[in-house]
Amino acid sequence: MNPKYPIICSPGQRLCQANKQYIAGQGTYEELGYIYSKFAGTVKVIEKDETYTIEAHGLPDPTIVPAPGDIITALVTLVNQRFAKCDIKCVGDVTLSKKYRGILRREEVRATEKDRIEMYKSFRPGDIILARVLPMTEAHTFQLTTAEDELGVVIAESAEGAQMVPVSWTEMQCSKTSIREPRKVAKVVPEDVALGKK
Amino acid sequence: MEQRNGNPVLQKVAFVRGDGRSPSEIRHISARLGVFGQADGSAYLQQGLTKVLATVYGPHQPRGKSAGNMLKAVKGIVNCQYSTAVFSFGAGVRKKRPRGDRKSQEREQQLRHAMEAIINLELFAKSQIDIFIEVLQVDGSEFCVAVNAATLALIDAGIPIKDYAIACSITVADDVTEKDEEGAQDGGSLIDANWVEECSPGFTLSIVSLPKVVDETQTQSSLILAHGAGRRLHLSRLEALRQRALDACKDIRDILDAVVRNHLHTHAAIQSVEK
């Protein structure tokens, strides 16, 4: 039933009758025995066991929202003894157009020695971190975890404003003054090595 | 023909208005979707000499003082801002403030009411949709053009809506004598009033409707809101005015639907080339 050219619909356009055979799907609504479209876009008909599901898809790509299990890039904004607040910037390789709030609790920083974690020795405000999204437990806030070797701080600046280089999994060194600062460092492969392997 | 008393612009000489239109004629409409890159949805609508820009942001997390009330809400919030540019009126007239006065606040509430009627807000629980309206040039019926522009911006943003919210205005001139009133119920009524007709002594009715197309020959319109301005109007004439304005809303819907479909064809053609 799929034609060569897509069927274009506009909001409020009546698509077909609603009965046992034709079911309203995503992007459509049913009213007074008929199926209407909610989007300005294309119509898709999905056939399954002698029933047809009518769907309407809008042309703009839907907004990407972080989902549990995604690797995200975040900016640390606030650190205290129990948690760190972050602004989620990217999901994977996609930059988000809106800002989402994330929270990283003390127990989620490391997989080992959870009782001895000190937040100010793991993160500082302004650090860029890699984290994984946990299932959401609060409204408006995403739970994050860095309890993996590949997660943690990837970009940090020292007090003098120079970028720091990771020297071990717990320390970073200032490239200007050689001062070492404690961080929860992410085990990230450097870009030149990765490019060399390609 | 002897000149009547009253506004000379509204003389009914061969049923032609001051700007050359017939009483049932809508001003020329041109529209563009997606005029702003950083907004989620945007539209520019021009009806005659009235020019309106509309942008839509969202659905996004609520910010500011509305975030406090969000914890109990089960539906989304529509936030509207209606702004008239200080240069938008005629020669020499300048507004002191583009927004925040009593008239803008009243129109913000009416616009929010119209948008809440077409957006299914249960889909956006604990979210907020922002609609910003900027009137660039005023030549009458600017609220109606703003509602139509907001509808186009919502379509461009990809927010699911029930139908188009179409607004239209109708004006009754003051120089209608009782003889004309007996003959035709809608005698002297003018569709889509411009600035001169709106400022003349008379009555202007602005309505927002959902013109739902039942089939090819019949249209069943449901009214969202109606707003009257000017002097008093006899109740017997209201029904005829309302019906005539609803018919004009259907014509405007056809024009805007053609604009949206043309935008879809252009957008779909670009996407097919990319694939």
Whether residue B145 is predicted with pLDDT greater than 90 in this model: the reply is: yes
Q: What pLDDT is attached to residue A195?
A: 53
In the predicted model, what is the mean pLDDT of residues B237-241?
Answer: 81
Tokens standing for residue A140: 């408006």
Percent of the residues in chain B that have a pLDDT greater than 90, as a whole number: 17
Contact B61 A8 (CB under 8 A): no
User: Among A79, A91, A66, which Cα is nearest to A143's?
Assistant: A66
This model of the complex carries an ipTM of 0.74
Residue B29 binned pLDDT confidence (cut-offs 50, 70, 90)? very high
**A·B CB contacts under 8 A:** 66
B202-229: per-residue pLDDT in tens? 888 888 887 765 554 555 667 777 878 8
Whether residue B178 is predicted with pLDDT greater than 70 in this model: the reply is: no
In the predicted model, what is the mean pLDDT of residues B137-152?
Answer: 91
CA-based nearest residue in chain A for residue B211: A12
B46-79: per-residue pLDDT in tens? 889 899 999 998 787 676 656 665 555 677 888 8
Q: What pLDDT is attached to residue B48?
A: 92
Whether residue B185 is predicted with pLDDT greater than 70 in this model: the reply is: no
Residue A198 binned pLDDT confidence (cut-offs 50, 70, 90)? very low
Q: What pLDDT is attached to residue A15?
A: 86
Q: What pLDDT is attached to residue A163?
A: 79
Tokens standing for residue A25: 């799907």
Residue where the block lists tokens 């990319």: B274
Residues 115-174 of A with CB under 8 A from B: 139-140
Contact residues for B159 (Cβ-Cβ < 8 A; gap 6+)? B41, B56, B58, B59, B119, B129
Tokens standing for residue B252: 């405007």
Contact B155 A41 (CB under 8 A): no
Residue where the block lists tokens 């500082």: A124
User: Among A3, A45, A39, which Cα is nearest to A24's?
Assistant: A45
Query: C-alpha angle with apex A164: A160 to A166, nearest 5 degrees?
Result: 155
- Which parts of B158-237 fold into alpha helices (H)? 178-183, 195-199
Q: Is the distance from CB of B47 to CB of B145 less than 8 angstroms? A: yes
Which range among B101-110, B220-229, B241-250 shows the weakest confidence by mean pLDDT?
Answer: B220-229
Task: Please indicate if any CB of chain B lies within 8 Å of the CB of A39.
Answer: yes
Q: Which residue has the higher pLDDT, A44 or B48?
A: B48
Q: Is the distance from CB of A139 to CB of B67 less than 8 angstroms? A: no
Sign of the C-alpha dihedral, residues B255, B258, B262, B264?
positive
Q: What pLDDT is attached to residue B230?
A: 80
Mean model confidence pLDDT for chain A: 79
Whether residue B4 is predicted with pLDDT greater than 90 in this model: the reply is: no
Query: What are the chain B neighbours of A11 within 8 Å (beta carbons)?
Result: 155, 160-164
Contact B267 A140 (CB under 8 A): no
- Which parts of chain B fold into alpha helices (H)? 66-69, 102-118, 142-157, 178-183, 195-199, 238-274
In the predicted model, what is the mean pLDDT of residues A109-114?
Answer: 78
Task: Please indicate if any CB of chain B lies within 8 Å of the CB of A197.
Answer: no
Q: Report the relative pairing of strands A141-145 and A94-105 from DSSP bridges.
A: parallel
Q: What pLDDT is attached to residue B133?
A: 93
